[in-house]
Amino acid sequence: MTQNRPHFATRLGVIATTVGSAVGLGNIWRFPYEAGTHGGGAFLIIYIACIAVIGIPVICAEFVMGRASRRNIFGAFRTLAPRGGRWWQSVGVLGILGSVLILSFYSVVAGWTIEYLLQSLAGTLDAVASSERQIAFDRFTGGWRCVLWTVVILGLNCAIVLGGVRKGIERVSNLLMPLLFILLVTLAVNSLLLPGAASGLEFLFRPDFSTVDSSVILGALGQAFFSLSLGLGTMMIYASYFSPATPLLKSAATTAGLDTLVALIAGVIIFPAVFTFGAEPAAGPKLVFEVLPDIFYRMPGGAVWSTLFFLLLLLASLTSTISMSEISVAYLSEQWGMSRRKAVALNSGIVLVLGTLCALSFGPLSDFTVCGKTIFELFDYVASNIIMPLGGMLISVFVGWVLKRQTFDLELKPAPRMLLNALVFSLRFIAPGAIALIFIVYI
Ligand code: TRP
């Protein structure tokens, strides 16, 4: 079966799909609000350090495991670990659990983009005065339409995932990523011309380390894992579809570089606007959805910008949701022999229930909290700040200490020896050590 596993057709396909998974709501919605609640500049520096020192080595580790085993996360540990890696397969359990939790709350936010897209088309987004935007947002997220759009997202996601790897995933990503990028750059230039641009840039780029505490560091680490789709086996399963000729280190660096660039551009779009329109940088998950309409409707042809933006954001979210589903779908079909169709149905069924709970946590279930967090916040926190870094730590330990060095070198060929040594050093000591330290300091 492994023999006729499909490959991505082209090198652009490889980059577009991995970047397609990485770039999504994590960059455009989650990064600005995490940076906003955690003080801006200092958060950004710690975030970039996490990407460089932990993120890139862990992407390489996932790539190596995926392509060397040509399996899903369970199969990868089973094939590569000595004696079938019984214990190691539990990392796969983490992967599935994390991806289900993330898909559940992610679908809710992706659903918000449908609402904003439709409102842009209907012209009603502009009809709300800036001062009432918050009320309108709360009314929408507290109502039934928010649940409906979550269901629609999961339906769309099912349809694409059923289309299979090449036709479904690759084609959508190839076209979409470049288009989104051009739009973002245009919006960034527009934001730089706003009167609050200087204060916005100062907030984002001038670090003030006096406000840094362990929650800022854990937040930056979680954001790095979330944004790069790391620690759950996503990059692993995608690498299992790479051709033997794909250069792994270069692809890892390109993915991390582009993903970080998109997050930075999103910051440059949002923060000048936050300071121009008097929004609160620490507003949390609603930040971007409240500020964006003000940006668009100050531009000539606002409805067109806003429609285009939410359409592309919706599509970018879908290239991410499919990569989350792929973790469980590949597991169910490869390890349990389930048909792809059944696997997709089972995964979607579970996420449908959990996603509905997340959607309702802005309305009827808003008073139901665990440790002061609503269901939506809890899923995000547990998956991003605990499960993903933990998964990443175990994957680095595995590749650094257990996997044969020869396999590692062979997959990463033609990377220079010195770089290989540096990567292994990071996977053995730095990445797992830093993650463990951040956990310990936080507790
Ligand atoms: N990285 C994506 C984003 O930034 C989200 C994502 C896609 C993801 N696949 C994932 C997160 C797998 C965790 C695991 O929007």
pLDDT digits (tens, 9 = 90+) for 413-438: 888 999 999 999 999 999 999 999 98
For residue 180, the CA-to-ligand 1 centroid distance in Å is 17
Give the C-alpha separation, 123 to 306, whole Å: 10
Q: At how many degrees (to 10) do helices 431-442 and 388-397 cross?
A: 140
A 10 A CB-CB count for 299 gives: 16
- DSSP alpha helices (H): ranges in 361-430? 375-381, 388-397, 405-412, 417-425
For residue 251, the CA-to-ligand 1 centroid distance in Å is 17
- 388-407 per-position pLDDT tens digit: 999 999 999 999 999 999 99
Q: Among the listed ranges 161-165, 178-182, 233-237, which one has the minimum average pLDDT value?
A: 161-165
For residue 290, the CA-to-ligand 1 centroid distance in Å is 23
Q: Is the CB of 72 under 6 A from ligand 1?
A: no
Average pLDDT on 183-208 reads 96
For residue 355, the CA-to-ligand 1 centroid distance in Å is 16
Average pLDDT on 125-140 reads 84
Measured by CA distance, the residue closest to atom 12 of ligand 1 is 229
pLDDT band at residue 57, thresholds of 50, 70 and 90? Answer: very high
Q: Is residue 380 classed as helix, strand or coil in its secondary structure?
A: helix
Does residue 185 register a pLDDT over 90? yes
Average pLDDT on 362-380 reads 93
Of residues 130 and 273, more confidently modeled: 273
- pLDDT at res. 167: 63
Q: Is the CB of 22 under 6 A from ligand 1?
A: yes
- pLDDT at res. 2: 45
Of residues 266 and 161, more confidently modeled: 266
For residue 14, the CA-to-ligand 1 centroid distance in Å is 16
Q: Is the CB of 157 under 6 A from ligand 1?
A: no
Q: Is the CB of 234 under 6 A from ligand 1?
A: yes
Between the CA of residue 343 and those of 5, 131, 325, 331, 335, what are the distances in Å?
A: 17, 46, 10, 9, 11
Give the C-alpha separation, 374 to 146, whole Å: 16
For residue 317, the CA-to-ligand 1 centroid distance in Å is 9
- pLDDT at res. 262: 96
Q: Reduced to 3 DSSP states, what percent helix, strand and coil does the chain have, rounded to the nearest 5?
A: 80, 0, 20
Average pLDDT on 151-160 reads 93
Average pLDDT on 63-69 reads 96
Q: Judging by beta carbons within 10 Å of its beta carbon (0-12, 13-18, 19+), is residue 413 exposed, middle or buried?
A: exposed
Nearest alpha-carbon partner for 211 in 36, 17, 393, 387: 36
Of residues 359 and 442, more confidently modeled: 359
Q: What are residue 373's DSSP bridge partners?
A: 370
Of residues 360 and 165, more confidently modeled: 360
Nearest alpha-carbon partner for 145 in 174, 119, 184, 183: 119
For residue 105, the CA-to-ligand 1 centroid distance in Å is 11
Give the C-alpha separation, 326 to 347, whole Å: 10
- pLDDT at res. 8: 73
Question: For 81, which DSSP code?
Answer: S
Give the C-alpha separation, 20 to 26, whole Å: 11
Pocket test for ligand 1, best of 17, 72, 229 (most atoms within 8 A of CB): 229
Does residue 85 register a pLDDT over 80? no
Does residue 164 register a pLDDT over 70? no
Q: Is the CB of 238 under 6 A from ligand 1?
A: no
Chain centroid to CA 433: how far? 23
Average pLDDT on 334-360 reads 94
Of residues 316 and 153, more confidently modeled: 153
Q: Is the CB of 24 under 6 A from ligand 1?
A: yes
Mean pLDDT (the chain) is 91
Measured by CA distance, the residue closest to atom 10 of ligand 1 is 229
Residues 290 and 133: beta-carbon distance below 8 Å: yes
Does residue 133 register a pLDDT over 50? yes
The phi and psi torsions of 373 (rounded to 5 degrees) equal -115, 140
Does residue 3 register a pLDDT over 70? no
Pocket test for ligand 1, best of 33, 72, 102, 255 (most atoms within 8 A of CB): 102
pLDDT band at residue 99, thresholds of 50, 70 and 90? Answer: very high
For residue 271, the CA-to-ligand 1 centroid distance in Å is 23
Q: Is the CB of 232 under 6 A from ligand 1?
A: yes
Give the C-alpha separation, 49 to 151, whole Å: 37
A 10 A CB-CB count for 306 gives: 24
Residues 240 and 70: beta-carbon distance below 8 Å: yes
Query: From the alpha carbon of 99, which atom of ligand 1 is closest?
Result: 14
Does residue 121 register a pLDDT over 50? yes
Does residue 169 register a pLDDT over 70? no
Average pLDDT on 127-143 reads 85
pLDDT band at residue 12, thresholds of 50, 70 and 90? Answer: low
- pLDDT at res. 125: 85
Residues 229 and 320: beta-carbon distance below 8 Å: yes
Of residues 201 and 136, more confidently modeled: 201
Does residue 29 register a pLDDT over 60? yes
The phi and psi torsions of 386 (rounded to 5 degrees) equal -115, -60
- pLDDT at res. 361: 95
- pLDDT at res. 1: 40
Residues 146 and 359: beta-carbon distance below 8 Å: yes
Does residue 198 register a pLDDT over 50? yes
Between the CA of residue 434 and those of 146, 389, 441, what are the distances in Å?
A: 39, 10, 10
Query: From the alpha carbon of 234, which atom of ligand 1 is closest?
Result: 12
